[in-house]
Amino acid sequence: MSTTANSERSLQASHGWFSGVRSWWRMLVICLEERLAYRTDFALGTVMRFLPIVTQVFLWTAVFAASSRTDIAGYSRDNIVAYYLLTMVTRAFSSMPSLAGGISRSIRDGSVKKYLIQPVDYIGFLLASRIAHKLVYYIVAILPFAAVLFFCRGYFPPAPDGLTIAAYILSLLLSFLLGFFLEATLGMIGFWFLEVSSIIFAYMLFQYLLSGHMFPIDMLADIPTGLTGVSLADIVRLLPFEYTAYFPAAVWLGKITGWELVRGILIEIVWLVIMIGVCRFVWWRGTKRYSGFGG
């Protein structure tokens, strides 16, 4: 009897595992078909994302030429170009287009309620579908990325050692998770406010400025805040945003090494744990006050 029950359980488990893999595979196929349906538009969009870098290269070349300096805040001109290219790689992991807007829309139009009555974890489902979206994006975008990075290889310093590369990859993966939970939490504000597009836009602005996407955070090191011995860079580093652009790029360029690197990774993990907790809490509180009517 017990042997039959065990074999049934193991059959169910293996069936569950297969059905899980099948769901993931289906999700991947749907994402791929969605992306490739308008491939000209998609390819154009991927290549165009590099255009602002071109302007930045010329801008910083002009700044260095006029200032007669060889470095600004510890960055040479080549370092700055490499930095912008590396932040683009980081943003390919940490940016979550339409995530916050999609969550708030599903709350507003009521489609979120199907996740409340089905045995599906909404946050888990969103994370799985985002991983699928990202995988598809990397499959399609890897060629333009590789071509641009190869073309601009002269701007990069020699490749770092294996440990630094491992830390870089880890920081990229953590930036993906941190970016996901930051934006998912933001979208859940929709439980309290019906229209959150302005809040999302304001967040995007701060994120763009404070993540180091606009310029390396080190450039704020000489800007005083009024507090003795505390610069603007010190304040910005208290926030989680730098891990979504600046940190991985600075790791690759060797700006963060040794104990500072270990500390940075640990702080990133702490921020991730905090954001997972906040996201779960906001979901729990939000669903408690949510009311849905009709089919």
CB of 39 to other proteins, least distance (A): 11
**88 vs 274: CA distance, rounded Å:** 25
Give the count of beta carbons closer than 10 Å to the beta carbon of residue 173: 12
Q: By C-beta, is 201 or 281 nearer to other proteins?
A: 201
Q: Which stretch binds other proteins (CB under 8 A): 25-33, 46-54, 100-108, 139-147?
A: 46-54
Contact call for residue 55 and other proteins (CB under 8 A): yes
Find the helix packing angle between 162-187 and 77-94, rounded to 10°: 50
Contact call for residue 239 and other proteins (CB under 8 A): no
Contact present, 175 and 243 (Cβ < 8 Å):
yes
Q: By C-beta, is 71 or 161 nearer to other proteins?
A: 71
Contact call for residue 145 and other proteins (CB under 8 A): no
Q: How far is CA 22 from the centre of its chain?
A: 26
Contact present, 178 and 243 (Cβ < 8 Å):
yes
Q: By C-beta, is 205 or 266 nearer to other proteins?
A: 205
Q: By C-beta, is 53 or 149 nearer to other proteins?
A: 53
Q: Which of 17, 25, 58, 193 binds other proteins (CB under 8 A)?
A: 58
Helix (H) or strand (E) holding 273: helix 258-289
Q: Which of 11, 36, 59, 270 binds other proteins (CB under 8 A)?
A: 59
Contact call for residue 152 and other proteins (CB under 8 A): no
Binding to other proteins by CB under 8 A, coded x per residue (else -) over 190-229, reads: -----x--x--xx--x--xx----xx---xx-xx------
Contact call for residue 290 and other proteins (CB under 8 A): no
Q: Which of 17, 18, 38, 138 binds other proteins (CB under 8 A)?
A: 38
- 97-131 in b/e form (b: 16+ CB < 10 A) is eebbbbbbbbbeeeebbebeeeeeebbeebbebbb
Q: What is the CA radius of gyration of the chain?
A: 22
**101 vs 134: CA distance, rounded Å:** 17
**175 vs 181: CA distance, rounded Å:** 10
**179 vs 192: CA distance, rounded Å:** 22
Q: Which of 13, 21, 36, 48 binds other proteins (CB under 8 A)?
A: 48
CB of 127 to other proteins, least distance (A): 25
- Would you state the structure tokens that stand for residue 45, as one six-digit string? 């969009």
Contact call for residue 147 and other proteins (CB under 8 A): no
Contact present, 254 and 168 (Cβ < 8 Å):
no
Binding interface with other proteins (CB under 8 A): 38, 40-41, 44-45, 48-49, 51-52, 54-55, 58-59, 61-67, 69, 72, 195, 198, 201-202, 205, 208-209, 214-215, 219-220, 222-223
